[in-house]
Amino acid sequence: MSGAVPGLRVRRAGPLALLQDAGRFGVRRLGVTQGGPMDLHAWAWANQLVENAWGTTALEVTLGGLALEAERDLTLAVCGGDLGATLDEAPLPLWRGLWVRAGQVLRFAQPTSGLRTYLAVAGGFQAEPVLGSTACVVREGLGGHDGQGHSLDEGDRLRVDPAARAREGAEAPESVRPDYTSVPWLGLIPGAQVGDFTGPSLYRAFNHEWRVDDRADRMGIRLTGPRLHCRLETLISEGLGLGAVQVPPDGQPIVLVNDRQTIGGYPRLGALTPLACSRLAQCVPGQTVRLRAITLERALADYRRFRRGFASA
Amino acid sequence: MTHPGLPRLESAGLDGWLVRLFAEIDEANLPWLTALVRDCEVALGEALVDLVPSYTTLLVIFDPLKITPSEARQRLVATLATLVPEEEDTQAPLQELPTWYDTTVGPELARLAERSEMTKEQVIECHCQATYRVFALGFVPGFAFMGRVDERLAFPRLETPRQRVPAGSVGIAGRQTAAYPVASPGGWNLIGRTAAVLFDRDREGFSLLKVGDRVRFTAVGRDEFERLGGDLRAMEERR
């Protein structure tokens, strides 16, 4: 953090803008959640395009509404949802490394595709790690630009490394830019309690469409659709992994994501893969999704292929 | 470990295995769970990301770039084959939570006494008498689920949770007891408030309480509570 200088100043706050590194690990046994980017895929690409190593702190902008003024010249990239980003009123190209001059203003309007977008600067945003991570978790008051788990507010300043440089003009290939408006097939690795759901419920889970509910946040995303019946009602609370799909007695699944509680006691269908969680993170309320059972081997191959392209930490 | 089919490894997604050791909540589970935590740290080494022990299970999270799920599984199976419980419980750390039991900070104290046909003093004595064990941490950082509370004090959660329970509040839900590390929503029956700082980001280890710890509540008066840095402000009732 030494040598960090102000790089961007918040001219106008949006509903939610949080610094995120890869997440907070090693302290979940103390009840501390994971945090980190909801869309790992877009976050990783934003960092990649400004030559940052895996795990570098970037800004997760949800829904838009944010205006940032550059306080110095910066190389940056914006990847993820299309939130109508502009640079000095001109449309800002996504999935591309850009040179921004001091005084220029970067604005996010509202989503036209996807829900969240990631802003990375060369060298990463500089913040003091809390419990080993800069991941901003509002509920826990941990991490972020001020260490207190706050979303960006008007007047806040994001600090950068003045020595960091990256080449301008790096572009993510078309093939890695998802169409967030399409109906995604979300890969789900079946869990141990899958056999406790009734046959018709399992059939419906994987053959019906699901609707993303408006009860969705960084803790969990509720899906509405056919009612699923499980022979187990509640369990003794146990550890919950990223993407765990729990089904409370109302039969409507909740996908537990980055800021989930560390333990919970509802039966689970299984767990979405990390890449399925990323894709789900871009789904707006009302959007249709489908679940597809996939094997652990297939999920591993997909994830390792995804990670192969990124510089390791 | 006599329950049929246990211990068992269950898939918890791409990067996790859930080790199911027991079927029921029991203090006797703890030396096995804490031993398994220790052994998993050795068995997975660099590939280990997180461990979440809870009542009857241990969730093991690993880095799927460093180890495949099947390799992780094999190592966990080998670990379970040689698992020996930790020496009981003289070794488990004993934590004392100085607590001011008073209706101004514990609004359910009177009702709990009434329902259990005890005086408030008897309720306090009963809550302080037991040595509790930490079964799990969760809900918020440093929130320790402890048991088991004397049957006479066992009451279900409030039907309508409070929007805000002050930090330090000591509560009972079923046969468990806990103290709130930070102000948060909550539905436990509140009987007092502790001056102990349960979670501190600047302290080594962060959380005062860890799974397996032994805990005693000690009753302190108002003045002692204040001297220890306790928050005297009365509950604001906003349901």
Q: Which chain B residues contact residue A32 at CB under 8 A? A: 141, 206
Which one of A27, A28, A29, A134 makes the best mutation probe of the B interface by having the most chain B beta carbons within 10 Å?
A29
For residue B235, is pLDDT > 90? no
Query: Residue B90: what pLDDT?
Result: 61
Q: Which chain B residues contact residue A246 at CB under 8 A? A: none
CATH 2.40.100.10 domain range(s) in chain A: 185-308
End-to-end CA distance of chain A: 17
For residue B89, is pLDDT > 60? no
Is B137 in contact with A30 (Cβ distance < 8 A)?
Answer: yes
Closest CA–CA distance from residue B142 to any residue of chain A (Å): 5
Which one of A263, A268, A278 makes the best mutation probe of the B interface by having the most chain B beta carbons within 10 Å?
A263
Q: Is residue A97 a contact partner of residue A76, using CB atoms and an 8 Å limit?
A: yes
**10-residue stretch averages of pLDDT, chain A, 313 residues long:** 89 98 97 98 98 97 98 97 98 97 98 98 98 97 97 98 92 96 98 94 97 96 97 90 96 97 95 98 98 98 94 65
Strands of A58-62's sheet, edge to edge?
Answer: A16-20, A58-62, A113-121, A74-82, A97-100
Of B126, B106, B107, nearest in space to B116 by CA: B126
Of B187, B102, B108, B105, nearest in space to B143 by CA: B187
Asked which of B52, B81, B110 is the last residue of a domain, the reply is B81
B120 and B221 housed in the same domain:
yes
- Nearest-Cα residue of chain A relative to residue B48: A26
Query: Residue B3: what pLDDT?
Result: 76
Residue type, A124: G
Residue type, A216: A
Is B13 in contact with A262 (Cβ distance < 8 A)?
Answer: no
Residue B128 to residues A85, B97, B192, B212, B217, Cα–Cα distance (Å): 59, 10, 12, 19, 5
B139 and B214 housed in the same domain:
yes
Query: Residue B239: what pLDDT?
Result: 46
ipTM score here? 0.96
**How many CB pairs (< 8 A) connect A and B?**
138
Tell me, what DSSP letter sits at residue A6? Answer: E
On whether residue B86 sits in a domain, the answer given is no
Is A263 in contact with B140 (Cβ distance < 8 A)?
Answer: no
Of A240, A195, A238, nearest in space to A219 by CA: A240
Of B39, B55, B59, B97, nearest in space to B212 by CA: B55
Token couple for A153: 């507010």
On whether residue B74 sits in a domain, the answer given is yes
- Convert the pLDDT of each residue in A76-129 to its tens digit: 999 999 999 999 999 999 999 999 999 999 999 999 999 999 999 999 999 999
Is A242 in contact with B15 (Cβ distance < 8 A)?
Answer: yes
B58 and B102 housed in the same domain:
no
Phi-psi region of B105 (alpha: psi -120 to 50; beta: other; left: phi over 0): alpha
Query: Residue B78: what pLDDT?
Result: 97
On whether residue B237 sits in a domain, the answer given is no
How many C-beta neighbours within 10 Å does residue A71 have?
17
Is B56 in contact with A142 (Cβ distance < 8 A)?
Answer: no
On whether residue B89 sits in a domain, the answer given is no
B77 and B101 housed in the same domain:
no
Q: Which chain B residues contact residue A141 at CB under 8 A? A: 182
Query: Residue A3: what pLDDT?
Result: 84
Query: Residue A121: what pLDDT?
Result: 98
Q: What does the alpha-carbon distance between residue A238 and residue B59 come to, in Å, rounded to a whole number?
A: 8
Tell me, what DSSP letter sits at residue A122? Answer: T
pLDDT band at B198 (very low <50, low <70, confident <90, very high): very high
Q: Is residue B18 a contact partner of residue B12, using CB atoms and an 8 Å limit?
A: yes
What are the start-end ranges of the E strands in chain B?
A: 8-11, 16-20, 48-54, 57-62, 94-100, 132-137, 144-147, 162-165, 169-173, 176-179, 184-186, 189-194, 214-219
Q: Which chain B residues contact residue A34 at CB under 8 A? A: 50
Q: Which helix (H) or strand (E) holds A305?
A: helix A296-308
On whether residue B107 sits in a domain, the answer given is yes
Is A32 in contact with B206 (Cβ distance < 8 A)?
Answer: yes
B102 and B170 housed in the same domain:
yes
Q: What does the alpha-carbon distance between residue A90 and residue A83 come to, in Å, rounded to a whole number?
A: 13
Which one of A193, A236, A272 makes the best mutation probe of the B interface by having the most chain B beta carbons within 10 Å?
A236
How many C-beta neighbours within 10 Å does residue A214 have?
11
Closest CA–CA distance from residue B122 to any residue of chain A (Å): 30
Average pLDDT over residues B6-13: 96
Tell me the CATH number at B109: 2.40.100.10
Residue with tokens 């970037």, as numbered in its chain? A58
Smallest Cβ distance to A239: which of B18, B65, B201?
B18
On whether residue B233 sits in a domain, the answer given is no
Which one of B50, B182, B204 makes the best mutation probe of the A interface by having the most chain A beta carbons within 10 Å?
B50
Is A300 in contact with B64 (Cβ distance < 8 A)?
Answer: yes
B134 and B69 housed in the same domain:
no
Q: What does the alpha-carbon distance between residue B34 and residue B14 come to, in Å, rounded to a whole number?
A: 24
B101 and B64 housed in the same domain:
no
Alpha-carbon radius of gyration of chain B? 20
| Domain A185-308 CATH class label | mainly beta
Of A24, A26, A22, A99, nearest in space to A56 by CA: A22
Q: What is the per-residue DSSP string for B67-91?
A: S-HHHHHHHHHHHHHT--PPP-TTS
Is B54 in contact with A243 (Cβ distance < 8 A)?
Answer: no
B70 and B136 housed in the same domain:
no
**Domain ranges, residue B32:** 8-81
Is B13 in contact with A244 (Cβ distance < 8 A)?
Answer: yes
B213 and B110 housed in the same domain:
yes
Closest CA–CA distance from residue A69 to any residue of chain B (Å): 32
B105 and B222 housed in the same domain:
yes
Q: Can you tell me whether residue B36 is helix, strand or coil? A: helix
Q: What does the alpha-carbon distance between residue A249 and residue A255 come to, in Å, rounded to a whole number?
A: 15
B111 and B208 housed in the same domain:
yes
**Chain centroid to CA A125:** 17
| % of chain B exceeding 90 in pLDDT | 91
Query: Residue A1: what pLDDT?
Result: 58
Is B13 in contact with A271 (Cβ distance < 8 A)?
Answer: yes
pLDDT band at B39 (very low <50, low <70, confident <90, very high): very high
Please state the domain count of chain B. Answer: 2
Q: What is the per-residue DSSP string for B215-239?
A: EEEEE--HHHHHHTT---PPPP---
